Amino acid sequence: MKMKKRLSKAEKKEHRRKTLQKYHQSPKYKKVKARYVAKAGPVAIRTYHREYYHKELKNSSTYKAKRKLYAQKPYVRLASCMYQRVYSKTPKCLNRMHTYYCSALYKKQNKLWRDLPANKLKTAIRGLDWRMSDYGRSYKRQWNSARRRSINVIEFVSKEKLLKLHNYRCVYCGKLLHNDKFTHIDHLIAVARYQKLGRLCPESYATVVPACVECNRHKSTKTPLEFIWARAAA
């Protein structure tokens, strides 16, 4: 694939201005705009713009090519998501990732992983992108931690949904909870217990409950029944 010429900032601005002007002068835009305004007032223009933009985007050749590629190689999409995540989470002041992504080295490696089979991709990404950044290093450490490794995520648990299921209350003391850092997601059977058995702790809405900070701290690695006994004895 031929690389597109990089436009300068001023050139980009000019291009954007020209495209917008062309778009605003088109009879189609004027007609539909009038219809939207008559219907719901000037606010409707924004909706129309968005819809128009998405329609244009979906008809573009770049979009179609990307869709085709993703359909054939879903892991390429995964990789580009990862790239964006790493990129967006690295502070711009460090600028190390930015320099790296602009470099010829990255372009070479980028091409390399695009052509890799799916089973080798994970290693490739880890080797190429993540190793380069402090963020990647810390993320990897987190990912490889014993606790992370011993959790088997069956379904991703959202705190809001979990709280809704349990009526926004701590299951142990009944305190009213909100979706903030003072609400902990407690594994009914602690992860450490599974670790001792040499098994993975399954994580789904059936195995976790919302708990307040104090309850979660006092419960620690006890089972719910042990916790109740301990509380009754105290």
Site of interaction with Zn ion (CB under 5 A): 170, 172-173, 175, 212, 215
Contact 109, 128 (CB under 8 A): yes
Other CB atoms within a 10 A radius of the CB of residue 208 amount to 19
Contact 213, 181 (CB under 8 A): no
| Residue 1, burial from CB neighbour count under 10 angstroms (0-12, 13-18, 19+) | exposed
The H-or-E segment that residue 15 falls in is helix 9-25
Cβ at position 67, least distance to Zn ion in Å: 48
Cβ at position 216, least distance to Zn ion in Å: 8
Question: Judged by CB, which is closer to Zn ion: 172, or 227?
Answer: 172
3-state class of 209 per DSSP?
Answer: strand
Residue 176 pairs in a beta bridge with 169
Sign of CA dihedral 162, 163, 164, 167: positive
Sign of CA dihedral 66, 67, 69, 74: positive
Question: Judged by CB, which is closer to Zn ion: 49, or 166?
Answer: 166
Cβ at position 184, least distance to Zn ion in Å: 9
Among 155, 111, 134, residue whose Cα is nearest residue 3: 111
Cβ at position 186, least distance to Zn ion in Å: 9
Cβ at position 185, least distance to Zn ion in Å: 13
Cβ at position 215, least distance to Zn ion in Å: 3
Question: Judged by CB, which is closer to Zn ion: 65, or 230?
Answer: 230
